[in-house]
Amino acid sequence: MERTLAHISDLHLGRDRRTDANVARLAVALREAEVDAVLVTGDVTHRGRRAELAAFEAIFAPLRDRTVVVPGNHDRLGEDVARRLMPPVRVAVEARPGLHVVRLDSTAPHNRALLSAHGELSDGDIAAVDSAVRAAPPGTLVALMLHHHLLPLPEDHLSERLASWLGWPNAAELARGRDLLEALAGRCDLVAHGHRHAASSVVLPSRAGRPLHVMNAGSTPELCSCRVLVHAHGRIVAERRLELDRPSAAPAARPLPAAA
Least confident of 101-115, 154-168, 198-212: 154-168
pLDDT at residue number 163: 65
pLDDT-based confidence at residue 154 (cuts at 50, 70, 90): confident
All domains of the chain in start order, with CATH: 3-243 (3.60.21.10)
Is the whole model's pTM more than 0.85, yes or no? Answer: yes
Going by C-alpha positions, the residue among 258, 255, 229, 256 that lies closest to residue 242 is 229
d(CA 107, CA 85) in angstroms, rounded, equals 12
Strands (E), the chain: 3-8, 37-41, 67-70, 91-96, 99-104, 141-145, 190-193, 200-207, 210-216, 225-232, 235-243
Dihedral angle computed from the Cα positions of residues 42, 195, 132 and 4, in that order, rounded to the nearest 10 degrees: 70
Confidence of residue 156 (pLDDT cuts 50, 70, 90): confident
Q: pLDDT of 19-68, one tens digit each?
A: 999 999 999 999 999 999 999 999 999 999 999 999 999 999 999 999 99
Instruction: Reply yes or no on whether the pLDDT at 142 is more than 60.
Output: yes
Percentage of residues in the chain having pLDDT higher than 90: 83
With contact defined as beta carbons under 8 Å apart, do 52 and 86 qualify?
no
